[in-house]
Amino acid sequence: MPIRLVVGLGNPGKEYERTRHNAGFWLVERFAQAKGVALRKDPKFKALVGKTAEGLWLLEPQTFMNLSGQPVQMLAGFFRIKPEEILVVHDELDFAPGVARLKQGGGIAGHNGLKDISQRLASHDYWRLRIGVGKPQAGREGADYVLERPPAEEKGAIDAVIDKALEVLPQMIAGDMQGAMNKLHTEEKPPAPPRKEPEKKAPEKKEPPQPEPEKKVEAAPKKEGLLSGLFGKKK
């Protein structure tokens, strides 16, 4: 079934726009920009609303996270959009930055925005695109963690996986959820390093054989001298 409404979750206001909890806003804003769609505040729906040339609705609730379900319920009810035709994009503590996953329904793991949407729609059947933002360190509250700005390295990883999600978003919108999952959930392996050829050893240079030193042969004593020694000199 095709998607008719894409909802990005976050908190309105300058102080929240760069915090982890606004990962859903980041993706929807980039998608709207790529499609040339202006998101305009609509008081009737209490949200920023846009519509693509193909008829896809884009929604960013402006009610703060805990009341995200109200704008979703009002717009979906007004245009008769079923829960299974809705894709909600949100931050996910269970995944590291750089990981994104698509699923339908399931537990909301304490996410207040999802909790309110499920209550208002009386259904868990909407689709969820979960953008990993990582877990806080032991002893820290998740509520505080998601309201902080991620450091540059984490933000880079989140931006990279948003790029990956945007590449497969047309498949999700068309209703090819399995195909989108196959692409989105496949980890890209880094290219293998080039194989090094074993170094060829240069042949060892053999030193030319050195000539052996000449042996000195002692001259034999003269006979005359020898006889003189034995018999004395002739007078």
Give whole-number Cα distances, 99 to 11, 18, 127, 130, 137, in Å: 22, 18, 17, 8, 18
**185 assigned to active site:** no
- Altogether, the residues listed in the chain come to a count of 235
Give the Cα-Cα-Cα angle 27, 23, 191 (nearest 5 degrees).
70
What is the rounded CA–CA span in Å between residue 185 and residue 115? 25
For residue 103, which of 114, 91, 87, 115 has the smallest C-alpha distance?
Answer: 87
Give whole-number Cα distances, 6 to 21, 50, 215, 216, in Å: 17, 10, 103, 106
DSSP class per residue in 178-208: HHHHHHHTSPPPPPPPPPPPPPPPPPPPPPP
Q: Among residues 21, 90, 111, 185, which one is catalytic? A: 21
The residues that are catalytic are 21
